[in-house]
């Protein structure tokens, strides 16, 4: 079945997302938080505090609804890029109303691209999260649509970074991260991974995104998650459980430019065109 070009502008009915401190702790563990440096995110006796990139988790149900609506081939679906704006800091428990919209469908002839906007509102009906998800659809091109608009290219400066961190991703990290709600078998099932061209399951792009967000909070926000405003990045190359992530940051005026690679494949960025904006 061809992609549904009439889905542009579609908005899903409101989806309620309820979470507790246990969900925020499972997420923090899923993106590599450790008791040595980040106990505030892992122990309810200290709140717990909430990592800003937890705001990607409430979007999953709306994301699935929008994917169903555009009727793309899920086996050819690749998470291309992600942006989140944290309008208000998240509490360790809450009830959110999540709204998703098909903001664009674009034709690259061989491939297609979709853009979803996904926002969330808190109990006071105030906007708390704004998100944008872009997908590359490898099996849905050639439908005669417009080409996507040009996007900004963000390159790390030609100087030493202002901070650099290295973290080994656990061998079971993808299995832990998926407990936050992203159950794509690509990240768990070796047979499924082989069917789509990988020799073993890969790490979720949003898990890498979470590692980068933790580095921003620690090294650019002085450990204060309330200073975190935005994180944007493009998923350029896969990360595998067991890899060592190298996250570098350059303070550039109003934003922090990021470069994320692995020790195993240092010439292949896994998160590119990446930057954070601080409050």
187 is catalytic: yes
Question: Cα–Cα distance between 220 and 227 in angstroms, integer?
Answer: 9
Per-residue pLDDT of the chain (279 residues; tens, 9 = 90+): 579 999 999 999 999 999 999 999 999 999 999 999 899 999 999 989 999 999 999 999 999 999 999 999 888 888 999 999 999 999 999 999 999 999 999 999 999 999 999 999 999 999 999 999 999 999 999 988 889 888 889 999 999 999 999 999 999 999 999 999 999 999 999 999 998 889 999 999 999 999 999 999 999 999 999 999 999 999 999 999 999 999 999 999 889 999 999 999 999 999 999 999 998
What tokens does 202 get? 């890969």
Q: Do domains 5-137 and 163-278 have the same CATH topology?
A: yes
What residue ranges do the domains of the chain occupy? 5-137, 163-278
Q: Measured between alpha carbons, how far is 34 from 146 in angstroms, rounded to an integer?
A: 45
Catalytic residue among 23, 85, 119, 182: 182
Instruction: Please give the Cα distance from 183 to 131 (Å, whole number).
Output: 20
Q: Which of 3, 187, 233, 246 is catalytic?
A: 187
Q: Which one is catalytic: 3, 70, 202, 247?
A: 202
CA distances from 97 to 19, 65, 279 (A): 12, 14, 24
Q: What is the pTM of this model?
A: 0.95
Instruction: Look at residue 170 in the predicted model and tell me its pLDDT.
Output: 96
Is residue 80 part of the annotated active site? The answer reads no
Distance of CA 37 to the CA centre of its chain: 23
What's the confidence (pLDDT) of residue 211? 98
Q: Looking at 30, 94, 205, 213, which residue is catalytic?
A: 205
**Three-state DSSP class for residue 182:** coil
Q: Which residues pair with 248 in a beta bridge?
A: 164, 259
Instruction: Note whether 270 and 254 are within 8 A (CB).
Output: no
Place of tokens 């995110």: 41
182 is catalytic: yes
Strands 255-262 and 112-121: unpaired
Whole-Å CA distances, 71 to 48, 99, 257: 39, 19, 35
For the CA atoms of the chain, what is the radius of gyration? 18
Output the pLDDT for position 1: 57
Structure confidence at residue 196 (pLDDT):
83
Residue 222 annotated in active site: no
Written out in words, the top-level CATH class of the domain with range 5-137 is: alpha beta
Q: What architecture is domain 163-278?
A: Roll (3.10)
Q: What is the Cα–Cα distance from 164 to 38, expressed in whole angstroms?
A: 18
- Cβ contact 102:10 at 8 Å: yes
């Amino acid at each position: 079945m061809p992609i549904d070009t009439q889905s542009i502008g579609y908005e899903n009915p409101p989806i309620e997302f309820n979470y507790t401190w246990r969900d925020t702790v499972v997420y923090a563990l899923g993106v590599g938080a450790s008791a040595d440096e980040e106990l505030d995110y892992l122990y309810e006796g200290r709140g717990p505090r909430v990592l800003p990139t937890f705001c990607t988790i409430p979007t999953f149900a709306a994301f699935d609804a929008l994917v169903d609506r555009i009727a793309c081939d899920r086996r050819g679906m690749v998470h291309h890029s992600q942006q989140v704006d944290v309008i208000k800091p998240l509490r360790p428990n809450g009830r959110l109303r999540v709204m998703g919209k098909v903001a664009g469908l674009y034709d690259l002839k061989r491939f297609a691209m979709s853009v979803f906007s996904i926002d969330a509102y808190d109990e006071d009906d105030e906007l708390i999260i704004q998100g944008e998800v872009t997908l590359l659809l490898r099996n849905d091109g050639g439908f005669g649509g417009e080409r996507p608009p040009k996007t900004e290219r963000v390159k790390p400066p030609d100087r030493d970074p202002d901070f650099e961190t290295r973290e080994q991703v656990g061998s079971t990290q993808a299995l832990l991260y998926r407990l936050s709600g992203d159950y794509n078998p690509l990240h768990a099932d070796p047979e499924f991974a082989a069917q789509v061209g990988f020799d073993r399951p890969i790490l979720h792009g949003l898990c890498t995104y979470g590692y980068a967000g933790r580095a921003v909070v620690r090294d650019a926000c002085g450990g204060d998650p309330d200073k975190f405003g935005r994180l944007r990045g493009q998923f350029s190359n896969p990360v595998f459980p067991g890899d060592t992530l190298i996250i570098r940051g350059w303070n550039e005026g109003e934003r922090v430019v990021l470069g994320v690679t692995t020790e195993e494949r240092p010439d292949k960025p896994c998160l590119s065109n990446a930057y954070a904006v601080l409050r």
